[in-house]
Amino acid sequence: MATSKIVGVIILCFALACYKGQNVTKDALAPAEKIVNVMSFGAKPDGNFDSTQAFMNAWRIACKSPGQNKLLIPQGRFLVSSMYFAGPCMAPLPITVQVVGTVLATTDISDYENVEWLMFEDIDGLNLIGGGTFDGQGHNSWSRVVDCEKTPSTCIRNPSSLFFNKVTNGVIMDIKSLNSKGFHVFVTNCANIRLIGLHITAPSTSPNTDGIHVSHSTHVRIFRSVIGTGDDCVSIIQGVKNVTIERVDCGPGHGISIGSLGKYEHELEVREVRVLNCTFVGTDNGLRIKTWPDRYPGAASNITFHDITMQRVRNPIIIDQEYQCSPANCQKKVSLCLSPFFIL
């Protein structure tokens, strides 16, 4: 099938019931930088020994000790369950986590009750680099997740692999995420975050395994990444401002989505989202905006789609204001405000 090329700009302002809304740090050894190796704290690279406590102890030293420190996860396979990389850290410059080997998630889903897998919180200045892999080993957990698209009221969200909360000035670069239990990368309450050169992979049948999910964050840049999962390659929900998604290869998956919006009361607007020079191959959707009917007011504005290539995409551009709508739960229709709408 021939490849289609969409070059254009779409600037959208939509609302439920027509409501009107309104420097990568180099991976170089800094002077006096101390390398904190997780193996020095008892971590074992055999893929079987639970190295969670060793990782926590190593992080505590790297983050809380004076001076510039780098946490090193060397070659090997390290098994860890849920843990916090919690700040604030004492170093004046960004703290670096260098992942060379593979970090494996434990497979017992009870380890993750009401928590994510690896949680980075309250950190100003973070470099997560190194070319290593985070393997969520999600196969056994996917069977408990019903189809969230069809039955959202009973949907179960498995833990995210990499969860960033209240992180500012962060760089996540050249990292691989494999077979997450839930979302691969979850960014919330963050500012000035760059995600560069990521390779995110899960089977097309894996439920609710969004590649990168962004909420309540500003100044987020997603560049030069390959994302193929069972759900959205990138999903953006309320409270997001100034996001650029550029040179991302998406597929398989559900495409790049804004929404769903309007599900909760007092939702914050989505503004200034740019999707540039991206490629979609074999996805259910390309560029999607979705809102709930008969719920709460919400808005999105200044949305730009430009220089998009699509091949074997079922719905190249879809704007759905009746998301999850059926005759049983939709009592009235909603309208869409476009100001303006261009396909060039």
Bridge partners, 234 (sequence order): 212, 256
Among the listed residues 258, 249, 129, 143, the one whose alpha carbon sits nearest the alpha carbon of residue 200 = 249
Helix or strand holding residue 139 (H, E):
helix 139-142
Among the listed residues 139, 140, 192, 129, the one whose alpha carbon sits nearest the alpha carbon of residue 162 = 129
Q: Report residue 195: phi and psi, to 5°.
A: -120, 110
Half-sphere exposure (Cβ direction) of 243: Cα atoms closer than 13 Å: 32
Q: How far apart are CA 200 and CA 20, in angstroms?
A: 36
What DSSP string runs through 56-93? HHHHHHHHHSSS-EEEEE-SSEEEE-SEEEE---S-SS
Bridge partners, 273 (sequence order): 243, 303
- The token pair that represents 278 in the structure block: 């991206």
Helix or strand holding residue 305 (H, E):
strand 299-306
Catalytic residues: 254
Q: Report residue 14: phi and psi, to 5°.
A: -125, 160
